Structure 1
Amino acid sequence: MCNRSSREWLFAAALAVGMSPVMAAEEVTADQVVGAIEDVFGVTQGQRRNHTKGTCAQGEFVGMTEVSAYSRSPLFSGKRLPVVARFSLAGGNPKAPDTAKTPRGMALEFTLPDGGLQHITMLNTPMFGAAQPSTFLAQMIAMKPDPATGKPDPAKIRAFIDSHPDSRPQAEFLASHNPPSSYANSTYFGIHTFKFVGRDGKVTPVRWRFVPRDGEKRLSDAELKSSPPDFLERRLIERTRHGKVHWDMIVTIGEPGDPEDNPTVSWPEGRKEVRAGTLTISSAMPQHGAACEQVNFDPLVMAEGIEPSNDPILMFRSSAYAVSFVKRIGGL
């Protein structure tokens, strides 16, 4: 398991981007961000503050042993590893319509041969909507409903977009791509850069995505208007009843100069890609009482052989997830 705490990684990231650890801790805190999310969506007691609406699933992962040339992680042992999965919609609204043009998530917890854990948390957009935690916080503040109307103030939204260009790539992607017709018909992206560490200590920057063997399928414009507000969970459950669902893990190998600390910037085309394994989902179920419900899918839970980059958003997610987790297990 990774032997550095989330706080240590956060401090290392702060130094890498030219901030002192004190500045990193004081500029934006996890409590501020989680509180801002609550201001936008309200609080559903005992539930996640973000990606509240979700569906549990179970399956397995078989990693390709060829990847051991890049990483000594037991994720790529070639053994069948149990997986607890969660599919979700971004935002804190448990009744968000499945037609909303917002990100979809796939979160995975792998149980490794030695009993250790590996988490992978992804979105169905190739990039994130913020390069710094301060951008995400500013977005939540701008989205806070006006008490007079119960809706966000359009002027504040425009001001946020104008002053935070790092939010635009993801927003443009979502605006130009209809949501998937099923969780099973979407690619999910790791968003961040990670580091594969080989047995010889060599470090290789990588990004990954999980590509559905069922193929990419999106709602048509007509379906976007006519589909019911709740269909994603039902379709995933029905799909698994008809057979197992598979995704291929595709790893992109970074080259010198590729951005490693900005999840809003995609890598250039033409990078070497390696098929690193296959995820198989064999069953899906409502999240209440299921295995995924109480899992805190902290993206910094990593096995030996995989390490985080100095991405400020990646570092920050761990502490924000922790604040949300403590609140929900406390029934708040």
Structure 2
Amino acid sequence: MPAEPEVTAPQVVDAIEGAFGVTHGERRNHIKGRCAAGEFVGTAEVAKYSRSALFSGQPVPVIARFSLSGGNLKVPDTAKSGRGMALQFKLPQGQLHQITMLNTPMFGAAVPKTFHDLMVASRPDPATGKPDPEKLKAFRASHPDNLAQAQYLADNNPPASYAHSTYWGIHTFKFIGAQDKTTLVCWRFVPQDGEKRLSDEELKTAGANFLEKALIDRTAKGPVRWDMLVTLGQAGDPQDDPPQLWPSNRTEFKAGTLTITSASAQKGAACEAVNFDPMVMADGIAPTNDPILRFRSPAYAVSFGKRLSGQ
């Protein structure tokens, strides 16, 4: 029997609500987002490793959502926080496959308790309206698994647009191929438009809500594309510790291209109602025992249930 988690999904969602407040009927995390749509076409090389219909070589329709981390609907687009790309692939015979990614190579927690404790430490002090610096300092000192992502976000300005950012899968997954052969993989989606971050000066002038318009304007000019690059794991590579990165010399190859052809505000659009649970996987791709990956599904379900009920 697996060990019981140190925190439950409802406790984590409660902690997120404590840190950011509640906007009724909306997501608890990554609340500020916009919708997009397009397609994905896989490459033939992936067939060596995965039998997933995602890599058939045929266009697969995609519902996408781009977002900012956190539960504050008014967070400025210049915030030094994570940016998300969530994808729902509509495979043949009604199958779905979902991927959620961040614009950081690693995640900021090895276990759900770390994320819970970060939310608790981030709860605003009623006297100041801001988190208590001493509580955040104590959190960082006692949770070293958060430091790599926090340092990455501090060292790198946010992207100039969603179209100019790489997004990482942050977890290790399993490709399941012929005869059920398993290969450990990580992936990232790299923009064909190239990576571009806001300069320090642009951080001051970009405005609080520029990302949505930038994405809509960019798709109006033509398709936006990302290459899916898959990295192959080797024996000993961590597969259940998302703050830890694999060595940079691992073999990688292009597994496909995501093409986004339209973007819109989220209200009433296709992505608004989707619960982008990354444990929704079709045959040919499977999860590892990563405790964060496994925890996301029940946590997303709690948030989704509250959203559906108007809470």
Query: Please, what TM-score do these two structures have when normalized by structure 2?
Result: 0.99
Give the equivalent residue in structure 2 for 1:264: 243
Question: Which residue of 209, 214, 217 corresponds with 1:230?
Answer: 209
2:140 alignment counterpart: 161
Pick the aligned partner of 1:55 from 34, 56, 61. Answer: 34
User: Separation in 2 of the partners of 1:162 and 1:93?
Assistant: 26
Q: Determine which of 188, 198, 219 is the counterpart of 1:209.
A: 188
**Across the two proteins, how many residue pairs are aligned to each other?**
311
Q: Which residue of structure 2 aligns with residue 72 of structure 1?
A: 51
**Cα distance, 1:241 vs structure 2:** 0.3
Asked if residue 247 in structure 1 is aligned to residue 214 in structure 2, the reply is no
Shift of 1:225: 1.3
Residue in 2 aligned with 1:131? 110
Give the alignment partner of residue 170 of structure 1, picking from 125, 133, 149.
149
Structure 1 residue 65: Cα displacement: 2.3
Cα deviation for residue 196 of structure 1 reads: 0.3
Deviations 1:154-197 (A, max 9, x none): 00000000000000000000000000000000000000000001
Aligned to 2:197: 218
Q: Give 1:226 deviation, angstroms.
A: 1.5
Q: Secondary structure at the match of 1:147?
A: coil
1:301 aligns with 2:288: no
Letter in 1 for 2:248: E
Shift of 1:274: 1.3
Aligned CA RMSD, in angstroms, stands at 0.7
Cα distance in 2, alignment partners of residues 102 and 39 from structure 1 = 18
How far did 1:124 drift? 0.2
Question: How far apart in 1 are the matches of 2:64 and 2:139?
Answer: 34
Gaps of 5+ in 1: 1-10
Q: Give ranges in structure 2 of 5+ residues lacking alignment.
A: none
Matches within 5 A, 1:1-332: 15=2, 20=3, 23-24=4-5, 27-332=6-311
State the 4+ residue runs in structure 1 displaced beyond 2 angstroms. none
How far residue 114 of structure 1 moved from its aligned partner, in angstroms, is 2.1
Question: For residues 171 and 81 of structure 1, what CA distance do their matches in structure 2 show?
Answer: 35
SS for the counterpart of 1:118 is strand
Shift in Å, 1:64: 1.0
Distance 1:277 1:114 in 2: 21
Alpha-carbon displacement from aligned partner over 1:228-277 (angstroms, at most 9, x marks no partner): 10000000000000000000000000000100000000100110001000
Query: 1:130-171 CA deviation, whole Å, 9 max, x = no partner?
Result: 000000000001011111211111000000000000000000
